[in-house]
C-alpha cells in the first residue's frame, strides 16, 4: 500500500469477523470523508475494473473483493481488497489493494 493510499483511508486491514465492513475514504475530488458501510456478503467479487499491481492479480490463493460507494459530491469510489483465510474458522482477513476515486487510481 502506498503512502498516498494510506492517507485516503481510515483503516487498511479488515476481518469478516468485524461486521459490518466499515471504512471511511477521503474523496480526491472534494476532500470530504465518505463512509462505506456494507454487510460482508454485499462486497462484490473481483477488482471491479480497477487495475491492480501484477503481484496482487497473479497470486492464485488471494481472495479479491470490492466495494463501491459514492461521495456526497457524486464521485464514484471503488475500494479493492485482497486477502486470504485467517486463523479462526471461517475468518477472512483483507488489506486494501487498490482504490479508484473518479478517474484517480491508487494501488
Tell me the per-residue pLDDT of 51-102, one tens digit each, with 9 for 90 and over: 887 655 556 568 899 999 999 999 999 999 999 886 778 899 999 999 999 9
Q: What is the pTM of this model?
A: 0.88
Q: Where are the beta strands (DSSP E) in the chain?
A: 13-15, 21-26, 33-38, 44-45, 63-70, 76-85, 92-101, 104-106
Mean pLDDT within 33-50 = 95
Identify the pLDDT of residue 102.
95
Identify the pLDDT of residue 90.
85
Identify the pLDDT of residue 5.
86
Amino acid at each position: 500500500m502506498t503512502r498516498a493510499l494510506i492517507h485516503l483511508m481510515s483503516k487498511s486491514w479488515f476481518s469478516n469477523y468485524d461486521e459490518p465492513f466499515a471504512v471511511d475514504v477521503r474523496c480526491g475530488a472534494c476532500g470530504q470523508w465518505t463512509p462505506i458501510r456494507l454487510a460482508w456478503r454485499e462486497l462484490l467479487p473481483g477488482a471491479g475494473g480497477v487495475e491492480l499491481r501484477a503481484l496482487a492479480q497473479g497470486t492464485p490463493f488471494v481472495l479479491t473483493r470490492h466495494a463501491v460507494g459514492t461521495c456526497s459530491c457524486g464521485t464514484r469510489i471503488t475500494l479493492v481488497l485482497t486477502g486470504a483465510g485467517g486463523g479462526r474458522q471461517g475468518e477472512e482477513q483483507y488489506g486494501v489493494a487498490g482504490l479508484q476515486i473518479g478517474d484517480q487510481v491508487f494501488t
